[in-house]
Amino acid sequence: MIETRRPAYMDGKPKGLLIDGQSVPALSGATFQSFSPSTGELVAELALADAQDVDRAVRAARAAFDGPWSRFKPAERQAVLLRLAELVDAECDDLALLDCIEMGRPITAARGLRGMLQRSLRHFAGAATSLHGQTLSNSFPVDLLSYTLREPIGVVGAIIPWNGPLFSAAWKVGPVLATGCTIVLKPAEDASLSPLRFAELCLEAGVPPGVVNVVTGAGATGAAIAEHPDVDKIAFTGSCETGQRIIAASAGSVKRVTMELGGKSPNIIFADADLDLATPAAAMGVFNNSGQVCAAGTRLFVQRPVYDEMIERIAAFTAGLKIGPSLDPETVIGPLVSAKQFARVSSYLDLGPQEGARLVAGGARVTGEGFDKGHWVAPTIFADVRDDMRIAREEIFGPVSCIMPFDDFDEVIGRANATRFGLAGGVWTRDIGKAMNAVRRIRAGSIWVNHYFAMDPSVPFGGYKMSGFGREGGSEHVEAYLQTKGVWIRS
């Protein structure tokens, strides 16, 4: 049954910026609107932050960093994170609904993130009491004891995308709370509500005002964060082009920067693979979240002996995927996030056949009753794709799979690596030696063998090459919010 309930947070009132624990309008009074990608309805009116609002938020974050928050003991930060995990869990259905309504993630998939959110917040809670420096034996001629202190970096500017708003907010705020930093978080303009509500829950959990601030707005708001001289670190997730602009803007004050950018990830199916296992993963490795996933396995390399069979299998699997409104629990393929994204993906649907790719499935907008007001694209499979085609080289960020045949191991590894990106990759084979060899040779930050796409707060995720630098997940995630002080004491 289609979900008809609306979260209490969607009360029709304009949403302010969250600065120093208060919901406030933009100083200019400017607002913007967000719309449902399923129905085109107005979802919310939101304050549009400009550079003066960002400055207010950064000042609040700095005051909290220097003030009350700096006196919180690790165990107190841990308690706050555990309380936050409870509050988020109690409201998880509504938070998922916010993402579902505002950015179009199908409700069953949105609610499926519950476990990951809990694991993440509890992981960060654990990290809060596990921070430690080292004592170091030195050979300085005078007897001096040397050790390191790991200290919070300070004010973090976090800029997140629209494709996983709640999860992205949690993965930026979690390490901030674990380490004693403070944050100015900018959600994407198409998906602000769940990050805003998440930040309110931080306050309810006992995080002092000013530690977690949210400024809503578009690219200019993000740029104001990247340029602000009193922001110590930028944590960005988004497109490569925007990441490059942020790196340039952050140079003015030599900010620490971590970047999780796009990808064009290879998913390699060898002829000896378990094809029953590989088929759904090959399809959903691209079509999950309507292809709006940075690690999507969009370049599907299939070894020649099983090439035709795999195309048939994937096409048959794809034909069974239910396309529909995000609020329908049966829906697997929801709409694209916006008219802008729809136009972008559509241009690649036109481009594929022009470049000589063979259309096997999809290839067009979904039309008919119930689809007239949103932005659905049918899951699309192009076969016989060549490496030099733009559809094989550029990140489409839509439900478009490019299937390519290959003959031997060295050839496919070379082709898999012939990209400026390096976010992720998949390998399907029953031969453990071949799998491990491929794992070593594929230049990407995450590799899945006989699986596609898994994430966990304990395991690092991030890019090689132009897919970025820095890791989220694993110990490196929290490390990126700390800096090291070397201390010398005459003994």
Question: Which residues are known catalytic residues?
Answer: 260, 294
Token pair of 327 as six digits: 């609020």
- Residues sharing a CB contact under 8 Å with residue 471, sequence separation 6 or more, in sequence order: 258, 445, 460, 461, 462, 477, 480
Q: Which amino acid is at 294?
A: C
Token pair of 23 as six digits: 């919901």
50 vs 89, beta carbon nearer ligand ADP? 50
45 vs 272, beta carbon nearer ligand ADP? 45
Q: Which of 219, 329, 460, 474 binds ligand ADP (CB under 6 A)?
A: 219
> Which residue has tokens 């921070």?
131
Decide: 194 and 218 in contact? Cβ < 8 Å.
no
Short-list 178, 183, 79, CA closest to 131: 178
Alpha-carbon span 479 to 124, nearest angstrom: 12
Short-list 68, 67, 120, CA closest to 92: 120
Alpha-carbon span 367 to 383, nearest angstrom: 24
Residue 245 near ligand ADP by CB under 6 A:
yes
Decide: 30 and 52 in contact? Cβ < 8 Å.
no
Alpha-carbon span 98 to 190, nearest angstrom: 12
159 vs 480, beta carbon nearer ligand ADP? 159
Piece in contact with ligand ADP (CB under 6 A), picked from 75-83, 237-245, 410-418, 455-463: 237-245
* Burial call 399-411: b when 16+ CB within 10 Å, e when fewer: bbbbbbbbeebee
- Residue 276 DSSP SS3: helix
Piece in contact with ligand ADP (CB under 6 A), picked from 26-34, 184-192, 204-212, 270-278: 184-192
CB atoms within 10 A of CB 466: 19
Please, what is the minimum distance in Å from the beta carbon of residue 386 to ligand ADP?
26
Q: Which of 44, 60, 101, 223 binds ligand ADP (CB under 6 A)?
A: 223
- Residue 88 DSSP SS3: helix
Residue 247 near ligand ADP by CB under 6 A:
no
Q: Are strands 233-237 and 212-214 parallel, antiparallel or unpaired?
A: unpaired
User: Quick one: 333 exposed, middle or buried, by C-beta within 10 A (0-12, 13-18, 19+)?
Assistant: buried
Residue 238 near ligand ADP by CB under 6 A:
yes
Piece in contact with ligand ADP (CB under 6 A), picked from 9-17, 198-206, 234-242, 271-279: 234-242
Residues that contact ligand ADP, how many (by CB under 6 A): 16
User: Quick one: 38 exposed, middle or buried, by C-beta within 10 A (0-12, 13-18, 19+)?
Assistant: buried
Residue 161 near ligand ADP by CB under 6 A:
yes
Q: Which of 87, 218, 247, 455 binds ligand ADP (CB under 6 A)?
A: 218
Residue 242 near ligand ADP by CB under 6 A:
yes
> Which residue has tokens 């995080």?
207
Q: Which of 3, 20, 102, 189 binds ligand ADP (CB under 6 A)?
A: 189
Residue 255 near ligand ADP by CB under 6 A:
no
Residue 188 near ligand ADP by CB under 6 A:
yes
Alpha-carbon span 149 to 165, nearest angstrom: 33
Piece in contact with ligand ADP (CB under 6 A), picked from 38-46, 47-55, 238-246, 360-368: 238-246
Residue 16 near ligand ADP by CB under 6 A:
no
User: Quick one: 379 exposed, middle or buried, by C-beta within 10 A (0-12, 13-18, 19+)?
Assistant: buried
Residue 104 near ligand ADP by CB under 6 A:
no
265 vs 279, beta carbon nearer ligand ADP? 265
* Burial call 468-478: b when 16+ CB within 10 Å, e when fewer: bbbbbbbeebb
Please, what is the minimum distance in Å from the beta carbon of residue 186 to ligand ADP?
6
> Which residue has tokens 């998906």?
191
Please, what is the minimum distance in Å from the beta carbon of residue 21 to ligand ADP?
23
Token pair of 156 as six digits: 């973090």
Cα distance between the two ends of the chain: 72
Q: Which of 58, 80, 159, 435 binds ligand ADP (CB under 6 A)?
A: 159
> Hey, CA dihedral for 411, 288, 423, 429, is it positive or negative?
negative
Piece in contact with ligand ADP (CB under 6 A), picked from 35-43, 89-97, 240-248, 433-441: 240-248
188 vs 327, beta carbon nearer ligand ADP? 188
337 vs 392, beta carbon nearer ligand ADP? 337
Please, what is the minimum distance in Å from the beta carbon of residue 168 to ligand ADP?
9
Q: x/- site string to ligand ADP, residues 111 to 150, per CB under 6 A?
A: ----------------------------------------
Please, what is the minimum distance in Å from the beta carbon of residue 412 to ligand ADP?
30
Residue 246 near ligand ADP by CB under 6 A:
yes
Please, what is the minimum distance in Å from the beta carbon of residue 246 to ligand ADP?
5
Please, what is the minimum distance in Å from the beta carbon of residue 156 to ligand ADP?
14
Please, what is the minimum distance in Å from the beta carbon of residue 53 to ligand ADP?
14
Residue 37 near ligand ADP by CB under 6 A:
no
160 vs 323, beta carbon nearer ligand ADP? 160
Residue 463 near ligand ADP by CB under 6 A:
no
Decide: 254 and 234 in contact? Cβ < 8 Å.
no
Footprint on this chain of ligand ADP (rule: CB under 6 A)? 159-161, 186, 188-189, 218-219, 222-223, 226, 238-239, 242, 245-246
